[in-house]
Amino acid sequence: MVANVKDKAVIVGVHNTRFTKNSGVSELNLAAQAVKGAIDDAGLKPTDIDGFATFTMDSNDEIEVARAVGTGDMTFWGRSHYGGGAATGSLHQAVMAVSTGMAECVAVFRALNGRSGHRFSDGVSGDIMTADAIHWGWYMPYGLLTPASWVAMFTQRWMHLTGITKDALFEVAHATREYAVNNPNAFFHGRHFDREEYDNARTIADPLQLFDCCQESDGASCVIVTTPERARDLKQPGVAVRGVAQAAAADQEQMTSFYREEFAGIPEMEIAAKNCYEMSGLTPDDIDAAVIYDAFSPIVLWQLEAWNFCGFGESGDFVLDGAMRPDGRLPTNTHGGQLSEAYIHGVNGIVEAARLVRGTSLNQPNKPVNHALVTSGVGIPTGGALLGKLDG
Amino acid sequence: MSDYKTLSCAEVSVGDKLGAVDVDITTGLVVCGALATRDFEPVHHNKAEAQAIGMPDVFMNILTSQGLMTRYATDWSGPEAVVKSIDLQLGAPNVPGMVMTMTGEVTAIDADTGVVDVAVAGENNIWGMHMQGTVQLALPREA
Amino acid sequence: MNADEQKAFEEEIYAFVGREVCPPTPAPDDVNMAMIRQWAEVLGETNPAYLDPAWAQQSARGKTIAPPAMMYVWGQEGFAATRGRAPNAQVDLVETFNRYGYTGVLGTNVKQEYVKEVGPGDNVSMQMVIDNISERKTTSRGTGYFFETLATFTDQAGEVVGTQRFKVLKFIPQEQPAAASSDDGGLEVPTRIASPRGQDNGWWWDAVDEGKVLIQRCKSCQTLRHPPRPMCGECQSMEWDSIESSLDGEVLSYTCLRHPAIPGYPKDPICAVIKLGEGTNIVSNLVGCEYEDVQIGMRVKGKIEQVDEKTLLPQFYPA
């Protein structure tokens, strides 16, 4: 039995800042821009905002963002942990606050100078003594330090067990790249690539090569979540949260769950998927488009399996049949994803998922999107959300 | 005798890349390289002396670096190539435990003289650029 | 230094320009195969132009040559250098710089031009002068002067073999002379990032320092667990001991970390998840094999090794 907050919270405003490799401004500056932009998009006033939700990794204190933007009295703030696992986790916080009445208008944001400031690809360092550092201590001395290295370890085994090849990884990278080509805010706007360029790019951690990895980026994204009653009075069509869930599974580690009976899988996402489907009453057949967290190309494939769009080991054929493409079964990462638009820790994905439902995605395929899926990073405690038209 | 091939001037183009080569910097290479070049400066064979000037360990002498740079160029060109000059800028020291990766690229060709400029860099994995510069080789005009 | 002292100092050093460091001096030994072969062995040189007289005979040159990069080697001072250099103009110049605080020294550029190839039986003479001294420069290492020596090499017939220009920066170190070491972070060789040692894991790493890989065992239900944690997830007992692993294992997955290069780590290290014979999994390095030779399911055997100056780690080899 899952808690049911179906359609009790609605995304009414969305905004991305410009995404760059060197913003030249502070992360607080980026956060303020994103929050203000989303407020404007919703047709709200700054003083209407009474809550914030973000990542534990975000450097911006809510009160600093509140002062910068000039928002109202604050009755809720909540953060979600575990890196990109917090993408829909921060949305989850906002939905809980709005659906219980703890707050009425919550800004979900993430702002980072992920390229010009601290780069995740620099790896963990162990400089700060925490319980978390002890965990990384089982990997750091051997050189297993970077997100790519952790994901590579899962990928190698998963490819071995399923027989899925780089053909499928390339298709994920290529499909999202083709979407980015049309997106002026994407890093790869206007820049096609082909298999030769993909194959010739440097290896990061076998079997992952450069274009299997996301864009480290500077920028911020924000969505505003409010009640259905309030949403109906605002200027944008409301995007209701039909289902939202977070999950960690047994023997979960942060990116290194290598101690399970079989570690080529993401059981935590299977739990989140099951609970989202149950909460929303939807099935995979009801989902028309998706924004699937893509820090690395193979993790999109695992999630297609976890959300039951296909069975274990079938995601390669699923995407090679063109499923992710504009006219495919499940147009996916239509903004270009984090592989090709920008890496804003998945919150730019929530923006795109809301736009898909609104019908304003730049790469909106020629069919109505009644329901869109958006997910968080995997390998860590994770989550996802199913979005649909308010009163639709 | 045909085991050894030498590139001719006609066979190379500006922009040609030389394959990367990794050189393990071992105490053996540093010390024996110093001795083989008759460089008996203590900092190249005596760790305590090297540490006395602030280095963590013995470090490679310049004559060994020059030898590695020309070897890299002529391994690519073949033995009939005549080395005309090497011009190198020195960077971070090579210390045992490091790996120096050498890369190179053809940057100029003088068709009249057959002299080819090869830009060579040796970068170690700890401190970065150890040396970079140019080796000039005179190649046969044709094969 | 005030302006007058500065002027006097510069007059003193610029007076060295043009001075001969050594007159033309024949090398103590002629160019010879023994020294060529030793040089080639150490440098990994296989060029038959230096090493294979039969090949060299039929080559375009028609004779064996010495590696051009050995040009300066022939006249080197030799073992006497371990007892300090005999006085000459360059040594005097360096000491003058040192006396005024320009104690830092850094070779920055060396250029050799080769005019004529020499071979066994030839004799190389070297003459060296102090060719030029720059004006005072501010560099990232500190304020100083570049001086350049010019060496000219000739053979026994007096024909020019080649030249060498060597540029050296003499500078006032920005920090204390000894500051080159660890404090300014500049010159310490990095080692691997160690695990922090806390109450729940320190005992495990302490055992590694003693040459053992231990596996935590619940005293109540005997379940093994790794990585260590304070409570048994099966029976919630907080009583535990440990067993020593035999380090027989099987590769479950692996990857090679190619980019970015990590200071303190070997180039392109292979990491693997290994299922130990005792049943628990461990992450470690695979060594003694190439990435291309690794397979999932491969048997491996581990041992504790010192991997750098500060670090002991379990490392696994193909069994």
Domains of chain B: which residue ranges?
Answer: 9-138
- How confident is the model at residue C87, as a pLDDT? 85
- How confident is the model at residue C180, as a pLDDT? 39
Q: What is the pLDDT of residues C260-313, one digit of tens each?
A: 888 788 889 999 999 999 999 999 999 999 999 999 999 999 999 999 878 999
| Chain C residues with beta carbon closer than 8 angstroms to that of A256 | 283
| Chain C residues with beta carbon closer than 8 angstroms to that of B36 | 35, 38-39, 41-43
Q: What is the pLDDT of residues A343-386, one digit of tens each?
A: 999 999 999 999 999 999 999 866 789 999 999 999 999 999 99
- How confident is the model at residue A175, as a pLDDT? 97
Report d(CA B80, CA C47) in Å as an integer.
9
Neighbours of A263 (CB within 10 A): 22
- How confident is the model at residue C308, as a pLDDT? 84
CATH number of C3-31+66-184: 3.10.129.10
In angstroms, the separation between the Cα of residue A185 and the nearest Cα of chain C is 27
Asked about A277 being catalytic, the answer comes back as no
Answer yes or no: do C195 and A140 touch at CB < 8 A.
yes
| Chain C residues with beta carbon closer than 8 angstroms to that of A254 | none
Nearest by CB: B79 against C48, C78, C82: C48
Answer yes or no: do B85 and C111 touch at CB < 8 A.
yes
Q: What is the pLDDT of residues A77-120, one digit of tens each?
A: 999 999 999 999 999 999 999 999 999 999 999 999 999 888 88
| Chain A residues with beta carbon closer than 8 angstroms to that of C194 | 126, 137, 140-141
- How confident is the model at residue C188, as a pLDDT? 61
Nearest by CB: A258 against C200, C205, C273: C273
Cis previous bond, C230, omega within 30: no
Chain C contact present for A122, CB below 8 A: yes
Answer yes or no: do B69 and C117 touch at CB < 8 A.
no
Q: What's the pLDDT band for C166 if we cut at 50, 70, 90?
A: very high
Asked about A259 being catalytic, the answer comes back as no
Contact predicate C102/C171, CB 8 Å: yes
| Chain A residues with beta carbon closer than 8 angstroms to that of C197 | 137
- How confident is the model at residue A130, as a pLDDT? 61
Report d(CA A130, CA A135) in Å as an integer.
9
- How confident is the model at residue C176, as a pLDDT? 43
Report d(CA C119, CA C65) in Å as an integer.
4
| Chain C residues with beta carbon closer than 8 angstroms to that of A121 | 260
* 3+ Cβ–Cβ pairs closer than 8 Å linking B and A: no
- How confident is the model at residue C200, as a pLDDT? 83
Among A82, A139, A277, A293, the active-site one is A293
Domain that holds residue A306: 10-118+214-389
Q: How many domains does chain A have?
A: 1
Nearest by CB: B126 against C45, C108, C190: C190
What's the mean pLDDT in A162-184?
A: 97
Size of interface A-C (CB pairs under 8 A): 117
**pLDDT surpasses 70 at C220:** yes
Quote the tokens at residue A112.
Answer: 């980072």
CATH 3.10.129.10 domain range(s) in chain C: 3-31+66-184
A348, part of any domain: yes
Helix axes A166-181 and A297-306, enclosed angle (nearest 10): 100
In angstroms, the separation between the Cα of residue B4 and the nearest Cα of chain C is 8
A195, part of any domain: no
What share of chain C in percent tops pLDDT 90? 71
C contact test, residue of B66, B102, B120 with most C CBs within 10 A: B66
Report d(CA A168, CA A319) in Å as an integer.
7
Q: How many residues in chain B?
A: 143
Q: Which residue has the higher pLDDT, B106 or C139?
A: B106
- How confident is the model at residue A275, as a pLDDT? 97
- How confident is the model at residue A72, as a pLDDT? 85
Report d(CA A205, CA B93) in Å as an integer.
28
| Residue with token string 């080639």 | C40
* 3+ Cβ–Cβ pairs closer than 8 Å linking C and B: yes
Answer yes or no: do B57 and C190 touch at CB < 8 A.
no
Neighbours of C163 (CB within 10 A): 16
The CATH number covering residue A274 comes to: 3.40.47.10
In angstroms, the separation between the Cα of residue A134 and the nearest Cα of chain C is 6
B contact test, residue of C105, C165, C187 with most B CBs within 10 A: C187
Contact predicate C32/C120, CB 8 Å: yes
Answer yes or no: do B56 and C48 touch at CB < 8 A.
no
Average pLDDT, chain A: 94
By CA distance, what is B75's nearest residue in C? Answer: C47
Report d(CA C243, CA C219) in Å as an integer.
11
Report d(CA C30, CA C70) in Å as an integer.
12
Chain C contact present for A126, CB below 8 A: yes
Contact predicate C120/C64, CB 8 Å: yes
A contact test, residue of C191, C192, C197, C259 with most A CBs within 10 A: C259
* SS3 of chain A: CCCCCCCCCEEEEEEECCCECCCCCCHHHHHHHHHHHHHHHHCCCHHHCCEEEEECCCCCCHHHHHHHHCCCCCCEEEEECCHHHHHHHHHHHHHHHHHHCCCCCEEEEEEEECCCCCCHHHCCCCCCCCHHHHHHCCCHHHCCCCHHHHHHHHHHHHHHHHCCCHHHHHHHHHHHHHHHHCCCCCCCCCCCCCHHHHHHCCEEECCEEHHHECCECEEEEEEEEECHHHHCCCCCCCEEEEEEEEECCCCCCCCCCCCCCCCCCCHHHHHHHHHHHHHHCCCHHHCCEEECCCCEHHHHHHHHHHCCCCCCCCHHHHHHCCCCCCCCCCCECCCCHHHHCCECCCHHHHHHHHHHHHCCCCCCCCCCCCEEEEECCCCCCEEEEEEEECCC
Answer yes or no: do C259 and A203 touch at CB < 8 A.
yes
Answer yes or no: do C82 and B71 touch at CB < 8 A.
no
Across A16-25, C177-186, C240-249, least confident range: C177-186
Check: pTM over 0.80? Answer yes or no.
Answer: no
What is this model's ipTM? 0.96
In angstroms, the separation between the Cα of residue A118 and the nearest Cα of chain C is 15
Instruction: Give pLDDT < 50 ranges for chain B.
Output: 1-2
**pLDDT surpasses 50 at A129:** no
| Chain C residues with beta carbon closer than 8 angstroms to that of A213 | none
| Chain A from 157 to 196: CB within 8 A of any C CB | 157, 160
Q: What's the pLDDT band for A125 if we cut at 50, 70, 90?
A: low
**pLDDT surpasses 60 at C17:** yes
What's the mean pLDDT in C220-232?
A: 91
Report d(CA A349, CA A222) in Å as an integer.
10
Q: Which residue has the higher pLDDT, C86 or A166?
A: A166
| Chain C residues with beta carbon closer than 8 angstroms to that of B1 | 54-55, 58
* Residue C293 C-beta-side C-alpha neighbours within 13 Å: 10
Size of interface B-C (CB pairs under 8 A): 137
**pLDDT surpasses 80 at C177:** no
Quote the tokens at residue C190.
Answer: 């990095």
By CA distance, what is A124's nearest residue in C? Answer: C193
**pLDDT surpasses 60 at A184:** yes
Answer yes or no: do C109 and B69 touch at CB < 8 A.
no
- Phi, psi (rounded to 5 degrees) for B107: -110, -15
Nearest by CB: C67 against B70, B82, B85: B70
By CA distance, what is B139's nearest residue in C? Answer: C60
Q: What is the pLDDT of residues C76-123, one digit of tens each?
A: 988 988 887 778 999 999 999 999 889 888 889 999 999 999 999 999
For chain C, the DSSP string reads --HHHHHHHHHHHHTTTT-EEEEEEE-SS---HHHHHHHHHHHT---HHHH-HHHHHHSSS-S----GGGTTGGG--GGGGGG-PPP-HHHHHHHHHHHTT--EEEEEEEEEEESS---TT---EEEEEEEEEPPPEEETTEEEEEEEEEEEEE-TTS-EEEEEEEEEEEE--SS-GGGGTGGGTSSPPP-PPPPP--TTTHHHHHHHHTT--EEEEETTT--EESS--SS-TTT----EEEEE---EEEEEEEEEB-SS--TTS-SS-EEEEEEETTS-EEEEEE-SS-GGG--TT-EEEEEEEE-SSS-EEEEEEE-
Answer yes or no: do B39 and C76 touch at CB < 8 A.
yes
What share of chain A in percent tops pLDDT 90? 86
Say which DSSP state B114 is in: T
**pLDDT surpasses 50 at A187:** yes
CATH level 2 (architecture), domain B9-138:
Roll (3.10)
Answer yes or no: do C82 and B42 touch at CB < 8 A.
yes
A contact test, residue of C209, C257, C265, C289 with most A CBs within 10 A: C257
**pLDDT surpasses 90 at A10:** yes
Among A82, A179, A277, A343, the active-site one is A343
Burial class for C102, CB neighbours closer than 10 Å (0-12, 13-18, 19+): buried
Nearest by CB: C193 against A141, A160, A207: A141
By CA distance, what is A251's nearest residue in C? Answer: C233
Answer yes or no: do C194 and A139 touch at CB < 8 A.
no
Quote the tokens at residue A59.
Answer: 């450097």
- How confident is the model at residue C175, as a pLDDT? 55
- How confident is the model at residue B125, as a pLDDT? 85
Q: What is the pLDDT of residues A297-334, one digit of tens each?
A: 999 999 999 999 999 999 999 999 999 999 999 999 99
What's the mean pLDDT in C223-245?
A: 91
Cβ-proximal residues to C317 (8 Å cutoff; 6+ apart), any chain: C286, C287, C288, C289, C300, C301, C302, C303
- How confident is the model at residue C143, as a pLDDT? 87
**pLDDT surpasses 70 at C248:** yes
**pLDDT surpasses 70 at C32:** yes
Answer yes or no: do A206 and C256 touch at CB < 8 A.
yes
Average pLDDT, chain C: 90
Q: Which chains touch B (3 or more CB pairs under 8 A)?
A: C
A247, part of any domain: yes
| Chain C residues with beta carbon closer than 8 angstroms to that of A154 | 253
Q: What is the pLDDT of residues C41-57, one digit of tens each?
A: 999 999 999 999 999 99
In angstroms, the separation between the Cα of residue C45 and the nearest Cα of chain B is 6
